[in-house]
Chains A and B, each alone.
Chain A
Amino acid sequence: MTKFTIDRRQTLLMGAAIAMPAIIPSRGRAATEALKIGVLVPTTGVHASDGIRMLKAHQLAAKMINESGGIKSLGGAKLELIVTDIQSKPEVSRAEAERLISRERVSALTGAWASATTIPAAQIADRNRTPFMITSAVNDALTEQGMKYVFRTAVKAKWFGGYIADFLDYQKSKGVPVAKLALATEDGPAGQAVRTNYTSVMPGRGYPIVADETFRTGTPDFSTIATKLRTSGADGLLTCAYAEDSTVLLRALAAQNFRPLYVGFGGAHVNQTVLAAGKPSDRTFGVVEWSPDLNKPASLAFVKAFAEAHPGETPLSNQAQAFVATYALALAADAAKSTDRNAIREALTSLKITDGPAAVLPAPVLSFDEQGQSPATCVIVQAIDGKFVTVWPEAVAVRPPAPVQG
């Protein structure tokens, strides 16, 4: 039998527990003039593998900046990253953004990986007038709702259809046309944003969609979906899936000897896991914001520096974005000659990066419009002999596309 009595001494102890947030010792402000940037990355939870990778790129950028003399206009101030784990959860992302802004007094924030974890953090940053440099979230609304402190190095989801249509036009001009498209997208925020975009863009560009399949991430069996895709009569297949689902889908397609022109989406496709699926992933394309073999000096330098810092590893597109995002914030602080949030925001709006170590992404110039969106672009890569190779656009391509039937 439990009794529900309580006396004053008990209540005091309990009060100490409830009041505990108030007595956590706060870490004192660093005495140095370091530029503090908060990095929100999911290092645990479902997006952990992506988050851990992104973190390496953020850290590499900080290391390179500091080794080359820090923020020059601030008397060589060091760039200090305040890293936090957002556990792949929107509410944690939000709370951590709040903490970095109010307690760690960061000058700017970056990261947050997926759209679902980025949206709440971006809202907090905007409300607290702190610049937020989005690394990889593609949700259109982020740079369309008039948030003044939100900037993005990534492209918008709604632009992808255009890139793919351009690429298919290019293929047609080379005598390898695609007549009908099928879609297979995961039933989450990323997949559905991409699916909406593809269904609205592709038919208007002369590529009718004859099958439109969705699946939940973690689906253990794709044979029914593969059958539907195969029997739809499509000769091109556009997908958006996490890497683990891609491997299961690709194997299911291969088991049915169905080899359409396959275009996977983003860093989730252009990924070691997908290559590890072996033959089924060979000759598949991926539309992606960056590729390590990109024919651009700063990009090649970044890959080299990354390989030195992490032997045996090749960076992925989202890592390049994380690297650039960190660099852009540092350059903005340098231009602003200040660690003040508003000054950095002002500097970001007039920033124009065309060369130097931050000119890693394929677009010729990195700048941010009044909505904070950069004129980012994409490349098409293809898995050839166990490696992803940039094959389009021609200006940065390493080689022309190989035939789909290897």
Chain B
Amino acid sequence: MLRRFLPALVPTLLAIAAFCASLSDPYFMEIFIMVGLIGTVAVAWNLMAGFTGLVSLGHSLFFGIGAYTVAYGQVGFGLGPLATWPIAALLALASALFIGLLCFRYGLRGYFFSIATLAFSEVAFLLVSATLWLGRSDGMMLPSSPDALRYLQFDHKWPYGLIIVGFLALTLFISQAVLTARPGYYWRALRDNEGAAEALGVPAMRYKLLVFALSAVVTAIGGAIFANTFAFVDPRSTLGVELSIQLLVFGIIGGLGLLWGPLLGAALLIPAGELLRNYLGSGFHGVNIVAYALLLIVLALLLPQGLGGVLAARLRRRAPEKPAADAKALAMEAAQ
């Protein structure tokens, strides 16, 4: 049991350690918050991309649904997170099922699925940018309220960090539970060969919708936390294609085949971006991004399994052969 959840437990413990280490300094906490939040969303994205072979380039849609539900819920109706987070999850669920039904019915795969999801998120981005009561492209500020606790408004950053630790842990454990149960094996079977999997009786549609829905709901909660943490949402940061691409980049760098791969990607790249910006940025405009882009190209070409994959492989080679818990997983995979 413990071994089964090790890939979720260990990153959680490390996140708690990082959280504690960041308590000393609000700037570290800010970085921790971004890493934890975007990293967790990237983990959810990777359930689709890495484990099911469905590369969404439109995940900002769900993130934006979460962020804007919280913002509009508070500004328009005075609703707090207790109401807005579940609504956000439901809205994301409904949109994921709708988009999923449309896309999977016509068997959109590969680039076509990616670009279809991108198109949906762009439509949402542009429509929100044009909608007056959602603040248009100005975005919405969440006003400070005297009833601070009800709206999750804290003077310090650490409570947000704590919420994010919980979000990260919950996401990792649920994902690991699902991955090591039937849906997880079906997803991987669909990824590796959809035709063969279907022939063996995997209900492709149902399981693809399942992963899409799970991924979208987690992403929307991430967006909701974003809105509550930063008290400001705008279309470019929450619905823009840049966010979706960031998830892909974290996944590629960290490793798509691992539950915690995208989290590793976020934990490496977000601080690295900060360092590059602090030490290079002001003198040489753009040089930091040139370095970032080069790193991305080189890693994507030379390490298709990502840094996490390399790390895992190297350590597995050195570590004594043991994983008995894997026998079941291997048997399942072999059965397919």
Contact = CB atoms under 8 A, between A and B. Distances in A.
Contacts of A19: 14, 17-18, 21
Interface stretch (B70-78, B100-108, B132-140, B204-212): B132-140
Contacts of A212: none
B271 A21 contact: yes
B196 interface: no
Contact of A18 (B130, B259, B263): B263
Contacts of A187: 129-130, 136-137
Interface of B: 6-7, 10-11, 13-15, 17-18, 21-22, 24-28, 30-32, 34-35, 129-130, 136-139, 141, 155, 176, 179-180, 188, 230-232, 234, 236-237, 257-260, 263-264, 267-268, 271, 274-275, 277-278, 281-282, 285-286, 288-289, 308-309, 311-312, 315-316, 318-319, 323, 325-326, 329-330, 333
Contact of A14 (B14, B27, B288): B14
B278 A84 contact: yes
A10 B26 contact: no
A98 B138 contact: no
B326 A5 contact: yes
Contacts of B263: 18
Contact of A89 (B25, B230, B236): B236
Contacts of A23: 21
Contacts of B309: 2
Nearest to A83: B282
A99 interface: yes
Interface stretch (A112-120, A355-363, A366-374): A112-120
24 contacts: A1-B333, A4-B258, A4-B326, A4-B329, A5-B323, A5-B326, A6-B312, A9-B318, A11-B10, A11-B14, A13-B315, A14-B14, A15-B18, A17-B267, A24-B274, A43-B281, A44-B286, A52-B285, A84-B281, A85-B281, A87-B277, A89-B237, A116-B138, A187-B129
Interface in A101-128: 101-103, 115-116, 119-120, 123, 127
Interface in A65-121: 83-85, 87, 89-91, 94-96, 98-99, 101-103, 115-116, 119-120
Contact of B236 (A1, A101, A116): A116
Interface residues of A, number: 56
Given A11-B10, A84-B278, 4 more contacts: A10-B10, A15-B10, A18-B18, A48-B285
Interface string A1-45: 111111111110111011111111010000000000000000110
Contacts of A192: 136-138
A7 B6 CA distance: 8
Contacts of B136: 187, 189, 192
Contacts of A43: 281-282, 285-286
Contact of B27 (A4, A13, A91, A98): A98
A177 interface: no
A4 B7 contact: yes
Given A9-B315, A11-B14, A44-B285, A20 B267 contact: yes
Contact of B275 (A13, A17, A24, A94): A24
B188 to A, nearest CB: 8
A188 interface: yes
Nearest to A16: B14
Ranked nearest first, the 9 interchain pairs of A and B with the lowest CB-CB distance are A22-B21, A2-B257, A15-B14, A11-B10, A43-B285, A21-B31, A85-B281, A83-B282, A19-B18
A139 interface: yes
Nearest to A20: B271
B106 to A, nearest CB: 29
Contacts of A119: 139, 141, 232
A43 B13 CA distance: 38
A4 B259 contact: yes
A91 B264 contact: no
B26 A102 contact: yes
Given A17-B267, A89-B237, A91-B230, A10 B11 contact: no
A99 B27 contact: yes
Contact of B139 (A10, A99, A116): A116
B137 A21 contact: no
B18 A115 contact: no
Given A17-B264, A43-B285, A9 B319 contact: yes
Given A19-B14, A123-B231, A90 B316 contact: no
Contacts of B257: 2
Contacts of B319: 7, 9
A189 B17 contact: no
Give the one of B30, B258, B259 with max A CB within 10 A: B30
A7 B27 CA distance: 31
B138 A4 contact: no
Nearest to B237: A91
A112 B148 CA distance: 28
A4 B47 CA distance: 13
B237 A90 contact: yes
B7 to A, nearest CB: 5
Contacts of B179: 4
Nearest to B7: A6
A184 to B, nearest CB: 17
B301 to A, nearest CB: 19
Contact of B232 (A15, A44, A90, A99): A90
Contacts of A141: 141
Contacts of A85: 277, 281-282, 285, 288
Contact of A21 (B32, B232, B289): B32
Interface string A229-245: 00000000000000000
A13 B311 contact: yes
A18 B27 contact: no
Nearest to B6: A6
B139 A90 contact: yes
B14 A18 contact: yes
B27 A103 contact: yes
